[in-house]
Structures are given as C-alpha cells and as structure tokens.
Amino acid sequence: MAKQNIFDNETFFDGYMKLRERQVNANNIFELPTLFSLMPDLEGKKVLDLGCGSGERCIDYIRRGASKVVGLDISEKMLEVARRDNSDPKITYLNMPMEDIDKLSETFDIVISSLAFHYVEDYCGLVNSVYSLLTDGGIFLFSQEHPLATCYSGKHDRWTRDEEGKKLYVNISDYCIERRNDSTWFVEGVQRYHRMFSTIMNALADAGFRILRVEEPYPTDEIIKKYPEYYDNFHKPDFLFVKAEKFTKGV
C-alpha cells in the first residue's frame, strides 16, 4: 500500500500546525512530558528521530548532549519548517518514509519516535528495521496513539454523555479486530492502524527487544485543576509509550 503523506496536504498541514501552536493541547500536557520523562541519557549519543516533523525534539536532543541527530520525515513541508526553525550543524534532516529506514547504512544508540507509528501499515517490519539500526544495548523509545483510541472506527458515538454533555464513558467496539480506520482529522481519509496491546508488545519481543517501560499517561491532580476537560483521559488514555532495549543474549 502507498505510504501515507498526509502532512504534505495543505489543509491538513495548516490545521495541524495551528493545533500544535496552541499551548494547551494533549501533546503539551501528556505526550511531551512523558516522552522526556522516559528519555535516556543522550550525552555523546547518536539519535534517530522517526517522524521528526518540524524538528523541535531534534534541537532538544542536541541540548541534551547528543553528538549527532538524524531527523527523518515523509513530509517535505514539515522538514522545510525544521530546516528553517530548528537547524543545527549536528542535525541532518532526511525526507524519507520511515518504512524505508532499512536503507539507512549507519547505526544509532537511540531511536525515538513520537506519535507516528499508528500511521504505519507494516508494524513488525518497522520494529525489525529499528532493531537492526540500533547498536547492542541501544534504546528504542516511542509513543503512539493508545489502542483504546485507535480502535475507534466511527461506526457509533465515541462517548456516552450525560444531559450536560459530560463524558461518562468511552464506547469500545471491536478492540480485537485489527484494521485500518479512515477518519476525518482536518481532512477526510486520515489513515490510522489499530493494533491490540499484545500485537505491539509481541512485535517488540519477537524482534529481540527487552521491554523496559510502558506508560499510559493520565491527568495529574494539577492538570485536572487547570484543565478539567481532560478528565476523559482517565477513561481513555490518548497515548501509549514504550521504552525497550536491544537485547543481545550474552551482553
């Protein structure tokens, strides 16, 4: 199947950039803090960012001491922003679909990906490619949409609400049926792949990774005080994080 390059769609790109410019969004409240809480020591490390987007994270890796960063993205429009706003002599931006990383010749100490894997059809292929790009004991850290989020097919209301419209619970159907869900997000036909927890864990274990940490971020008391509308993240976490180590018997 063709690799999705939705970020080069004008309408999607503009909508997405506006969303990310807002200071109060799920990425800033849940996703980025969790990602950086799981971040290994980057001092002197070679880092690959799969789906680097506009490159803010790549700059941060350099600030944290990374010796080299390769930021890879399928969207040329995103990389234009990255090269304009987040360039550094130690950063190389590559316009390439992450499905093609097996073509990269160099190896990395750390591979990071933020909210990109739910767009990928061949999950096991990607995980195996990451494994082969990592040095022994290398760290693989990624976030993706949570399986309770990706399983939403749009066939019925996502939420059951009370009279005031408050979300009471999330309506889950066909969690065990893995599939591509085409949804409308800024534009029609945005393709997300639903996979069960077990499929994600087994792809990592089968590739040869040792799972070090799994996170499903939910609101702190502080977040609920400031942004009560995020209570629904107790019912359905938006994001899943996995930190894994390249496991080599005998090392």
By CB under 8 A, name the binding residues for a second copy.
148, 156, 160, 168-177, 196-198, 201-202, 205, 210-216, 218, 233-237, 247, 250
Residues 6 or more apart from 69 whose CB is under 8 A from it? 46, 47, 48, 49, 58, 61, 62, 88, 90, 91, 92
Residue nearer to a second copy on the CB measure, 169 or 185: 169
Tell me which residue of 86, 35, 98, 96 sits closest to 62, measured CA to CA.
86
Residues 6 or more apart from 67 whose CB is under 8 A from it? 44, 45, 46, 90
Residue nearer to a second copy on the CB measure, 138 or 237: 237
Q: How far is the CB of 108 from a second copy (least distance, A)?
A: 22
At 211, which amino acid appears?
Answer: I
Q: How far is the CB of 245 from a second copy (least distance, A)?
A: 10
Residue nearer to a second copy on the CB measure, 59 or 115: 115
Residue nearer to a second copy on the CB measure, 65 or 137: 137
Residue nearer to a second copy on the CB measure, 38 or 58: 38
Q: How far is the CB of 40 from a second copy (least distance, A)?
A: 15
Burial of residue 222 (number of CB atoms within 10 Å: 0-12, 13-18, 19+): exposed
Q: How far is the CB of 167 from a second copy (least distance, A)?
A: 9
Q: How far is the CB of 10 from a second copy (least distance, A)?
A: 36
Residues 6 or more apart from 229 whose CB is under 8 A from it? none
